Amino acid sequence: MFTINPDASYDCVFSHPKTRSWNNSIDCCSWNGVHCDETTGQVIELDLRCSQLQGKFHSNSSLFQLSNLKRLDLSYNNFTGSLISPKLGEFLSLTHLDLFGSDFTGFKSSELLECKSMSFKFIYSLCM
């Protein structure tokens, strides 16, 4: 579970809590930061950079149900103490991953890159 905290995105010039506008009664493809395939309607991009998210990132997150995700940007949030889940390796279509400035811990690039299901064309700005 995440909370909204403006200090969680302190490095961003323009930060805003994109998830605050999300509403379950509206198609998620119209939500701020969510982009869907026009044909299938499946979520293919999730851009939550500078969204003031703070909290633990758990491996049972609903994020991992987005099996057709191509782009994932969680940069400039505060996930201090959260481990990067090996489940990221299950995103077969993922070509863009940005975790820069989100304070994940325990990151080992070799573990992520060695996932057999990983088909990254590139990995951009993995956490510092």
**How would DSSP label each residue in 34-69?**
EEE-TTT--EEEEE-TT--EEE---TT-GGGG-TT-
Whether residue 25 is predicted with pLDDT greater than 90 in this model: the reply is yes
Tens digits of residue pLDDT in 43-61: 999 999 999 988 887 778 8
**φ, ψ (nearest 5 deg) of residue 19:** -70, -20
Task: Write down the CATH number for the domain with range 2-113.
Answer: 3.80.10.10
As a whole-number percent, the residues of the chain with pLDDT over 70 amount to: 81
- Confirm whether pTM is higher than 0.85: no
Over residues 21-27, mean pLDDT: 91
Over residues 19-48, mean pLDDT: 94
Q: Parse the chain into domains and list their residue ranges.
A: 2-113
pLDDT tier at 106 (50, 70, 90 boundaries)?
A: low
